Amino acid sequence: MDKYKILIVDDDPNVRKVLGDTLTLKGYETFAAKDGTEALSVLKQDSFNLVLTDLGLPNISGLEVLHRVKADYPLLEVIILTGNATLYSAIESTNKGAFSYLQKPYDMDQLLLHIKHAIEKQQAEVQILQHSVELKKINSELKALYEVSLIISRTIDLNKLFSEIVDAFSIIEVFSFVQKSMIFLIDKNRTHLVALGLSKAETGSCDKLAVGDCLCGLAAKNGEIIVSKNCGNDIRHKKKSHWPAPHGHIIVPLKSINKVEGVLCLFTHPDIGPDEHILNLLLTIGNQLGIAIENLKLYEEAKSFSLHDPLTGLANRRLLQIQLEKSFEGAKRYEKPLSIIMLDIDYFKKYNDTYGHVEGDRLLVAIANILLKELRSPDYIFRYGGEEFLIMLPEIELKNANIVAERLRKTVASKLTVTISLGVSSCRQSMQTKEDLINNADTALYQAKQNGRNRVEINIQQEERQK
């Protein structure tokens, strides 16, 4: 059997040599290119199974190489290897069709696993095309892959992805045997229904299955496609839906590199046995969706990390600007109350100097935990910076916000060895910007500090207006 061919594109000769030697020892046939231009030229001269490319190439960028490769050689898989990973380049690489995206220095065993799965995917797609003898069928299958790839590439929202995939299976020609569909994600050894093409009542007891239970649970456990031509007679089908008509099932595992992320459950007409081409196509789509789910989860984690303080877990100032903009405009438009509390730990610098920065960090976490416990779920808590916190209280007027602030002050004083000072402000129709609301609270906090600390102050101008 011929060796699988891999093209390594990197401007660093040491990287090219180490990768080439390692992959050669693993049984692959390797070729190297020092830049994008040379890589595209080499691809015209021979056929390859996989391209490994850096992003920072000297003439044509790695992203452009990826774009041209996927445009000219749709079956050729590309893995991005980069020492300058960014959220933007990761999203762009995924959108342009990269199989995966690894940051240097990478773990060689992990890279080898990615290479193995990439070539398996590429070989599966090649096999589908090689075994297809009818042009219409080939076009239908490619169109289905394209439709799914298009859905994956145009959304970075998991819920939207699931909804559009369910809708797509009802209209893609090659899947005309599909009546309805559902998508489950796997979490803590159970399936969780996230998208359905039938009513909630028709799903029956399908949600929250243990992995290994019923057809969906078996596909999740084994990572293999399951076909049940008539599930009414299938002893594996233990949890019945309330779908009234006789039907079969095709359960497709949604596999990422290392695990099954979920399953796609297709309701089919009874006694339908899809041929090998369709099953391979579904497996390919399942792999595409599995990797997309993994990538979108990573994106959500990165987005969440960028909007939250890593020490306390509270929202940070970036998220404050987003949320306060919405709340401030809503309060003014609908004339609803909105209050702000700014608080500061008294003598925090002295505490840090006395007990050290580790204890200072623990104190910040302890304050954050008290705020989370004492406040309502509709309230927003932000770490504003340093030892300052900001609390946003929707639907709370100034007087009640003052009561909340006083309760927080007493709770901190009773549970910790430090005290806090707090400033309170509320939204007024005369305010022009959200910054006015924050500045008023900040002014009140300054007054609390000036008046002896361990106290609550209301913005003087607002207090006078309320009298």
| Residues marked as catalytic | 387
**Rounded to an integer, what distance in angstroms lies between the CA atom of residue 363 and that of residue 386?**
12
CB 438 within 8 A of CB 384: no
Question: How far, in whole angstroms, is CA 56 from its chain's centroid?
Answer: 25
153: exposed, middle or buried (C-beta count within 10 Å: 0-12, 13-18, 19+)?
middle
* Edge-to-edge strand ranges of the sheet holding 178-187: 190-196, 178-187, 260-268, 248-255, 226-228
- What backbone phi and psi angles, to 5 degrees, belong to 335? 50, 50
CA nearest to 118, candidates 50, 38, 197: 50
Distances (CA, A) of 3 to 38, 50, 149: 22, 12, 28
Q: Is the peptide bond before 274 cis (omega within 30 degrees of 0)?
A: no
Q: Which residues pair with 30 in a beta bridge?
A: 6
Tokens linked to 47? 């056929």
62's enclosing H/E stretch is: helix 62-72
Distance CA 408, CA 410 (A): 5
